[in-house]
Amino acid sequence: MGIKLGSISGIPLYLDYSTFLIIALIAYTVGFGFMPVSYPGLSWTVYLSIGILSAVFLFVSILIHELAHSIVAKNNDLKVTKITLYFLGGISEMPEEPPTANLELKVSAAGPLMSIVIAVISFVGWMASIQLHASVLIQGPLQYLYLVNALVSGFNLIPAFPMDGGRIMRSLIWRRNGDLLRSTEIASKVGRVFAYIFMAVGVFFLFFVDLFDGLWLLLIGWFVSSAASSELNQLRLMRDLGTLKAEDLMTRNIDSVSPEITLSELSSRFFEYKHNGFPVVDSNGDVAGCVTTDDLRKTKKNLWDSTFVKDIMTPKEKLITVKNDEPAELAVTLMVRNQIGRLFVFDSKTGKLTGLITRSDVMKAIQVQESILGSNRSGQPPADRQRFISVEEGMMFEIECPAVPGATWFAAYNTGEFTLISQNLVQLSGGGQSTQFTFEAREKGRFSITLYPHTKPNPREALIYSVVVS
């Protein structure tokens, strides 16, 4: 997080704190390293001024580069959440992937093209300033601006996904094979190869050329490699969530606390329920906010008897929420983007709190989806591994698993939805044994129970029961 600078055509602009350090570093290296070679014999105040001007110009050109990406995206109805300038350059945050290969190509090419344009303009400006015998304060920064933008566009065009060049490459592969996930897998593999090359060259520089450049390359390599994997994982996760809704992820029976209890009471609730946070619900059953162990820790212990939950909770207005019928993908995106561990789900019709999605709910849903999609990613689960049951709330029902030699079946389900009453081995008349589970349905809705014949879940062996509880 950093400082908000303002917004340009509706896109909020942030400056990461690391930027100040880097502006100072650039001002120093340009002013006292690069400039005395090109323009010898000036006073240190002039070098310092050229350095600062150059560093500021550099950040403005990075900003224009990012704006180019964002404006092309916005003009094509893609959402841009914000632009953050940080020590490696800029990041335009777009919560969704471009819907088509051609659009991705346009969006990712816009930045480097803009850097080339800035390089050309500043080159012409630099030439003109020499002809006109302009002050060194103009000549120096223009020369630097030209060099650095040529460098930025060249560097960004290296096909190291998720850098611009890598995105361009992905869009070209995507255009040919029509498969975004497969293209991302290829691009991210190539990206990681480049990341290792950056790091190897970085280590070489570190020892034999220049410590600073070496560290810089190591950092970029590390960044590219982790960003390539995380983007691929995110895409896989979104694919797994598929058509699920927020309500498919959420836990329905949620424990809550009253806004009127003291922090001492709250602390014992945390111990009792082993939760890291509670929704705060008032006597009318309306949500007033949310309180977490972090909120509690911020208050001194001797004040716990005289402070109430309502004094420390995050009020309802500040909570990030979803509606039950919104896509599960949106819920996960909100949790990742805002770095929150729990997300409230409100009913779209009544406006009441109906559930809570935590990180472990998301992981469980992904596990189930992975097993359903298993070998057959694109379509429905194979019919022979999917079963449907319809039961009533509060009712007990049995599931009998087929005999698998040497296997004891194991069930994955949500404890808020089902209670496992018993698990028995049944001897079959023809030899062998099967496993019989008895569950009680705790909650109305559509849920699933996944069964594996071994404790190590293998999607190919899983049986998926879709249980409709009415």
Residues in contact with Zn ion by CB under 5 A are 111, 164
| CB 110 to Zn ion: min, Å | 8
Identify which of residues 16 and 164 has a Cβ nearer to Zn ion in the complex.
Answer: 164
**What's the length of the chain?**
470
**List of residues 6+ apart from 445 with CB closer than 8 A:** 247, 252, 417, 468, 469
Phi, psi of 310 (to 5 degrees): -60, -20
| CB 254 to Zn ion: min, Å | 42
Identify which of residues 230 and 422 has a Cβ nearer to Zn ion in the complex.
Answer: 230
Identify which of residues 92 and 139 has a Cβ nearer to Zn ion in the complex.
Answer: 92
Residue number of the CB atom closest to Zn ion:
111
Identify which of residues 221 and 279 has a Cβ nearer to Zn ion in the complex.
Answer: 221
3-state secondary structure (DSSP) of residue 463: strand
| CB 164 to Zn ion: min, Å | 4
Identify which of residues 111 and 459 has a Cβ nearer to Zn ion in the complex.
Answer: 111
Q: Round to whole Å and give the CA distance between 70 and 67.
A: 5
| CB 101 to Zn ion: min, Å | 18
Identify which of residues 111 and 125 has a Cβ nearer to Zn ion in the complex.
Answer: 111
Cα 180 from chain centre: 18
| CB 111 to Zn ion: min, Å | 3
Q: Provide the phi-psi class of 379: left if phi over 0, else alpha when psi is between -120 and 50, else beta.
A: beta
Identify which of residues 113 and 127 has a Cβ nearer to Zn ion in the complex.
Answer: 113
**List of residues 6+ apart from 3 with CB closer than 8 A:** 14, 15, 17
Contact criterion met (CB below 8 Å) for 118 and 145: yes
3-state secondary structure (DSSP) of residue 204: helix
| CB 221 to Zn ion: min, Å | 18
Q: Round to whole Å and give the CA distance between 220 and 376.
A: 37
Q: Which two tokens stand for residue 103?
A: 């659009």
For residue 70, give the amino acid letter. S
| CB 156 to Zn ion: min, Å | 5
- What's the alpha-carbon Rg for the chain, to the nearest Å? 29
Count the Cβ atoms, other than its own, within 10 Å of residue 235: 16
